[in-house]
Structure 1
Amino acid sequence: MLLSDKVFLPTRVQREALKLLKSGAKHILLFGGSRSGKTTILVIVIIFRAIRYAGSRHLICRLRTKDARSSVLHETLVPWLDKIVGNARYKLVVHDNYIKMWNGSEIWIGGLGDKEQVDKILGHEYNTIYFNEVSQISYAAVNVAYSRLAMHVPGCRNLFLYDCNPASPMHWAYKVFIRKIEARTDTPLVKPDLYVSMVLNPADNAGNLAEDYISDILDTMPEKQRARFRDGLWVKADGVVYEKFREEMILPQDRIPEQFDFVTAGQDFGLNITNVKVGWIGNSVYLIADYGAYNMPTRTFNEELTDLGWYRNDKNEADLFPTYCDPAGGERIQEITGGVKANNSVDSGIDYICALMERNRFFVSVKCTGVLQEIADYARDEGNQIVKVNDHYMDAMRYAIFSHVQYGVVCN
């Protein structure tokens, strides 16, 4: 791939990032602060791959389609296409959200959090899949998309590309790319050399920014925001809901009790379908296990849980425990073994769980990697509203705990 055209003059750091494409890695993550040029460099990489390999297909996806269209398609992809190839050599197919180039190559845009888009974008095979702002995308969604990097174009080495403003060190991307461990099991990656990353920060892209962007905006942010958006550090989010959660609440499996007074579970529906299982001893709760999938029918998900032996109470295998389900699930609740409607009082449920943490009555098995990946970034925005990103295990956890406190349903 040649990037010598005068329409694109990469900075020194961007040139270093481009070298990663020649490293032999399959997965390449660019992370760092705001406006550091991460998206620009990866979009341009995709454009040049589409030019060089006629008939190839490439996917750029975010959590939500509307964000992918506004921040990637219209603000980055189309302007750079105009500069590099000219607007007469490609066509934007608006209805289907993809670019058709003169040589038969295609660049698709989509959202992995939008049901109406998922089947469409995952119905194709690709030579490049680029996960934009991957800190917002669940590991389950990324894993499903992995199977679509299967298009064969002679000479084209298929690649996964990622970028993000860093999240907390519990996020799956930090585990995989920085610690080089599996996101769900915390075991070493089988082929760590396939995963490489690089930090790009605003200071590395200062020549393309407004003169006062760093000094008057980034430098004046609160400490955690400054660390994330200026310095590219992996830190807990501002406004984190469970600020009282501490590392000592994470227990190795041999410290999880073998018997409980009773067991409950919480079930969240949607594209990211999740279940969290909770054991109770008195007024203390132990998150025993969690399980999640992406774009899976409820009945199939329930069958997988059944195959795992999920629905039997560890204390008395003759008794089924209640699974408190998202009340918006409707008929899907009937497809969950022991399924009953949950109490969805968000603020009251959060307050109760925070009180458990404060009283040292809340514990999480190290096996609950879904919960642990979300809990440090589960936050409120400036309007004090819960940020509805990567909250699927958090909802299931709240259903399992607070619904029992409110209802105390027992299933026989």
Structure 2
Amino acid sequence: MGTTKVFKPTTVQKKALNLIKSGAKHILLFGGSRSGKTTVLVMAIVYRALRFPGSRHLICRLRAKDARSSVLRETLLPALTNTVGSAGFTYLAHENMITLFNGSEIWIGGLGDREQADKILGHEYNSIYFNEVSQLSYAAVTTAYSRLAMRVPGCRNLFLYDCNPGSPLHWAYKIFVKKQAFQSGEALPKPELYASMLLNPEDNKDNLPADYISDILDALPEKQKARFRDGLWVKAEGVIYDQFEEDMILDPGELPETFDRFAAGQDFGMNITNVKIGIKDNRIYVLDDCGSYNMTTKTFNEELLQRGWFNWKGEDIDFSIFCDPAGGERIQEITNGMKANNSVDAGIDYIIAKMERRQFFVSSACTGVLSERWDYCRDEDGEIIKVNDHYMDAMRYAIFSDAQLGVIAA
């Protein structure tokens, strides 16, 4: 196949490509806006697909439409055209899949849609590239791990990731930067398998408009500038629970021995979550959370029961689980499930008031709640950004529904 143009990586992109060739199995490229992260990883996928005939590779993000617009059309299709020519590949739009002349395949998809997820996770791959992982839950990513199982002689299977950095509590920061297991906080048993690299717009300025950094990125508000220009992991603008303080996080041993009562909240969807709370002397304690990805409601409920959800300190307890009212018949599949009060703004205001009064605490065991709290934001129009909010919704269902029953004072 004729080559029409050769990819010429910048100096930093060459270092990133060398990192991909290292012995690490998980490689994260993070940094500012338009720093060349996606280009590097797409070219790595293209190279691997060409180098190993008959191999299969997946590029995915939260929404399939975003994967198609930002990765497929802007980067992948031009890269393939420039590398093997238009005759060297076929794009099957109805399948969201590209076939190369050598029999290799590159699939494009989203993990936030059940039908899409079932489709792309029904295959095995040699490479899985998670684009913009700041939008993906840990459960969604780890569910896809089992699909990196295709065997092609000579091809070392790889997980690739990229993102504009988010909160330092995000699972990607804990794993790749702090080298800690996300849920336990313990040191990774094999940290050498996880490698990361910072790429910023300054490293890619030869491929950017002359005024992009000086007139656009330099003019951003400080926090956005830190994230999108400097590639720093910072708390986002518009954080809803900005009143939450670090000393509100308690070790499990610091929690009360007994509670006046318990409650839980249940959120449905591809990322299904449950958050359990305890109330003691008008104080709210977020005790535990549980989440999964692409799991049926019935199976998830069984998992809750197996985890001893209705048990505290060895004693059986009974409480209601307040469920997303949009759950319909799925509510009946949750033990003690009932419709939650879904007054979003009123529920948020109630929780903020509890934080301001120092009547709100979270167990350090609640990795889901803690990882989402700084990503739970409003946009410039004051609308809640519906990304990484599954535990936040479940927590609000539990707290505000319990309060609206009139059992505790506001």
- Which TM-score bucket, shorter chain as reference? over 0.9
2:234 maps to 235
TM-score with structure 1 length normalisation?
A: 0.97
Deviation at 1:377, TM superposition (A): 1.0
Partners of 1:121 and 1:315 lie apart in 2 by 42
Written as runs of structure 1 = structure 2, the 5 A alignment for 1:366-385 is 366-385=364-383
Partner of 2:334: 336
The residue that corresponds to 1:159 in the other structure is 158
Query: Offset of 1:313 from its aligned partner?
Result: 5.7
Q: Flag the 1:110–1:79 CA change in 2: closer, same or farther, 3 A.
A: same
Cα drift, residue 342 of structure 1: 0.3
Counterpart in the other structure of 1:283: 282
Please give the root-mean-square deviation of Cα atoms over the aligned residues, in Å: 1.4
Match of 1:184 in 2: 183
| Equivalence for 2:397 | 399
Residue number in structure 1 paired with 2:73: 74
Instruction: Give the whole-Å Cα distance in 1 for the aligned partners of 2:314 and 2:325.
Output: 28
Give the aligned partner of residue 321 of structure 1: 319
Give, in angstroms, the shift of residue 254 of structure 1: 1.0
1:75-90 mapped onto 2 (5 Å cutoff): 75-90=74-89
Alpha carbons 1:266, 1:398 under 8 Å: kept? yes
Per-residue CA deviations over 1:120-175 (Å, capped at 9, x if unaligned) read 00000000000000000000000100000000000000000000000010000000
Is the Cα–Cα contact under 8 Å of residues 54 and 105 in structure 1 kept in the other structure? yes
Summarize the alignment of residues 94-109 of structure 1 with structure 2, pairs less than 5 Å apart. Answer: 94-109=93-108
TM alignment of 1:180-329, pairs within 5 A = 180-312=179-311, 317=316, 319-329=317-327
Contact persistence 1:61–1:109 (CA under 8 A): yes
Letter matched to residue 94 of structure 1:
A
Q: How far did residue 291 of structure 1 move?
A: 0.4
The alignment partner of 2:67 has SS state of helix
Contact 1:322 1:409 in 2 (8 A): no
- On the 8 A contact 1:263/1:321 being kept in 2, the answer is yes
Q: Which residue of 1 aligns with 2:121?
A: 122
Q: Which amino acid aligns with 1:402?
A: F
Distance 1:193 1:180, change over 3 A: same
Are the structure 2 counterparts of residues 171 and 203 from structure 1 closer, same or farther at C-alpha, using a change threshold of 3 Å? same
Query: What does residue 31 of structure 1 align with?
Result: 30
Conserved? CA contact 1:265–1:322, under 8 Å = yes
Question: In the TM superposition, what is the alpha-carbon distance from 1:312 to its structure 2 partner?
Answer: 3.5
Query: Quick one: distance in 2 between partners of 1:312 and 1:189?
Result: 30
Give per-residue Cα distances to partners, 1:195-243, cap 9 Å, x unaligned.
Answer: 0000000000000001111001100000100000000000001101011
* 2:12 equivalent in structure 1: 13
SS of equivalent to 1:100: strand
Matches within 5 A, 1:326-365: 326-365=324-363
Does structure 2 conserve the Cα–Cα contact (< 8 Å) formed by 1:177 and 1:196?
yes
Local SS of the residue matching 2:196: strand
* Matched residue, 2:143: 144
Residue 58 of structure 1 corresponds to which residue in structure 2? 57
Q: Identity over the aligned pairs, expressed in percent?
A: 67
Query: What code does the residue aligned with 1:394 have?
Result: M
| CA deviation after TM superposition for structure 1 residue 283, in Å | 1.7
Unpaired runs of 5+ residues, structure 1, are none
Structure 1 residue 23 displacement after superposition = 1.6
Distance 1:372 1:5, change over 3 A: farther
Unaligned runs of 5+ in 2: none
Deviation at 1:407, TM superposition (A): 2.1
CA distance in 1, matches of 2:4, 2:176: 31
Q: 1:15 to 1:305 in 2, by over 3 A?
A: same
The one-letter amino acid paired with 1:310 is W
| 1:314-341 deviation line (CA, Å, top 9, x unaligned) | 6962x52000000000011011111010
- In 1, Cα distance between equivalents of 2:245 and 2:368: 16
- Quote the Cα distance in structure 2 between the aligned partners of 1:375 and 1:20: 32
Aligned amino acid, residue 374 of structure 2: A
Aligned in 2, Cα 1:330/1:408: closer, same or farther, shift over 3 Å? farther
Conserved in 1, the CA contact under 8 Å of 2:4 and 2:85?
Answer: no
User: Could you say what secondary structure the match of 2:223 adopts?
Assistant: helix
- Paired letter, 1:387: I
Distance 1:316 1:400, change over 3 A: same
**Cα distance between partner residues in 2 of 1:314 and 1:340:** 25
Cα offsets for 1:334-368 (capped at 9, x unmatched): 11111010001111111111111111111000000
Provide the C-alpha distance between the structure 2 equivalents of 1:103 and 1:198, rounded to a whole number of angstroms: 32
Task: Determine the structure 1 residue equivalent to 2:388.
Answer: 390
**Aligned equivalents of 2:333, 2:406: Cα separation in 1:** 21
Q: Tell me the secondary structure at the aligned position of residue 331 of structure 2.
A: helix
Task: Report the Cα distance in structure 2 between the residues aligned to 1:285 and 1:118, rounded to whole angstroms.
Answer: 36
Q: Secondary structure at the match of 2:269?
A: coil
- Give the distance between the partners of 1:182 and 1:19, measured in 2 at CA: 25
Task: Check conservation: 2:5, 2:82, Cα contact below 8 A.
Answer: no
- TM-score of the pair, normalised by structure 2: 0.97
